[in-house]
Amino acid sequence: MAAPIPTAAPARPTVLEVEGLSLAFRNADRLLPIITDVSFSIRQGEAVALVGESGCGKSITALAVMGLAPDNAVITGDITLNGQPISGLSPQDRRKLCGRHMGFIFQEPMTALHPTLTIGRQMTDTLKHNLGLSQQAATNRAAELLDRVGIPRARDILRGYVHELSGGMRQRVMIALAISCGPSLIIADEPTTALDVTIQAQVLDLLDDMRRELNLAMLFITHDLEVVGEFCDKAVVMYAGDVVERGMSADVVQHPAHPYARGLIDAVPAHDDNRTRLTPILGTVPPVGAWPEGCRFAPRCLRATEACQTRPALEQHDATTIRCWHPLERSS
């Protein structure tokens, strides 16, 4: 009897799809563009990174997805969550998705958590509001969640306040809150920036464990491409509101085609090569309202030519998709 022909594993469902997302702020009598034509998707159990320096549009992209952008934001494009379009929802209806369907891990839990309410009050209020649990059931669930993210003496911590916890413990509380109502999507906005290196590694390991254990889709915002290579499946590199390179994280990190992505990698301390000095990217991200007409990275790019005065399209190049007139050749 012939052996059965192996079949490919079914594709994981797409949790989040962002297509042609643009956002501008109303400023007096004009619109200031902040992000332009941003597209990406995240499947169940997958981690996708938004990468770039401060001011490149990463966090505002995440806030637009969550429906938490400022009131003067004008947003166009399509956002789909679990197959349902959410772009046309009112800000109030979009915010109802927060917690229950989308969890957010903020960069600085000391400002995200309420300083005058106990940890338990903040967690149980969230659980009662989103899941309709009783006070006792919410308290039990909160304690289980704190235990799950590695916080000892969970019942004691529930009675405490955020200022009584270390930075790493605060971030673990944020992670517990983000997963508390069983969302399908987690957005983590530079969740390790305020932590020392050892605690950073612990928090990243915890996030990775939670993603795999709960089969979560994760949007991970960072400026560190080294972390992206270790932690994420795909990478979306942003510069001045533009997507400049997009692909599998291994391809973007190991064989970047865009000069900006290459510059981000060269500016990160590496532990496995012989570099004695870092190579910074000269200049700074241009402020909103002062973007060049053509390639937005051209004023800082050593490969820029007259062609760069025209804005390049986002096109396939080797293993990744890039926006560049003079892409780097794939290294061996």
Asked if 198 and 144 touch (Cβ cutoff 8 Å), the reply is no
Using the Cα atoms of residue 25, residue 80, residue 251 and residue 208 in order, give the sign of their dihedral.
Answer: positive
Write the CB contacts of 168 (distance below 8 Å, at least 6 apart in sequence). 195, 199, 202, 203
Burial pattern 264-298, b for ≥16 Cβ within 10 A else e, equals bbbebeeeeeeeeeeeebeeebbebeebeebbbbb
Chain-centre distance for alpha carbon 291: 23
Place of tokens 């399509």: 78
pLDDT at 9 over 90: no
Write the CB contacts of 284 (distance below 8 Å, at least 6 apart in sequence). none
* pLDDT, tens digit (0-9, with 9 covering 90-100), for 187-227: 999 988 777 888 888 989 999 999 999 999 999 999 888 88
CB atoms within 10 A of CB 302: 9
Confidence of residue 92 (pLDDT cuts 50, 70, 90): confident
Confidence of residue 332 (pLDDT cuts 50, 70, 90): low
Across 224-252, average pLDDT:
93
Asked if 55 and 287 touch (Cβ cutoff 8 Å), the reply is yes
Asked if 61 and 31 touch (Cβ cutoff 8 Å), the reply is no
Across 274-291, average pLDDT:
82
CA distance 293 to 286: 12
Enter the tokens of residue 99. 């917690």
Asked if 34 and 56 touch (Cβ cutoff 8 Å), the reply is no
Asked if 262 and 253 touch (Cβ cutoff 8 Å), the reply is no
CA distance 167 to 146: 15
Asked if 221 and 189 touch (Cβ cutoff 8 Å), the reply is yes
Q: For residue 34, which phi and psi values (nearest 5 degrees)? A: -110, -45
Bridge partners, residue 239, by sequence:
242
Using DSSP's 3-state secondary structure scheme, residue 299 falls into helix
CA distance 182 to 53: 31
Global pTM reads 0.90
- Computed over every residue of the chain, the mean pLDDT equals 90
CA distance 281 to 283: 6
Place of tokens 């490969």: 303
Confidence of residue 5 (pLDDT cuts 50, 70, 90): low
Domain boundaries, the chain: 107-182
CA distance 99 to 83: 18
Across 22-43, average pLDDT:
93
The beta-strand segments (E) located in 253-319 are 314-317
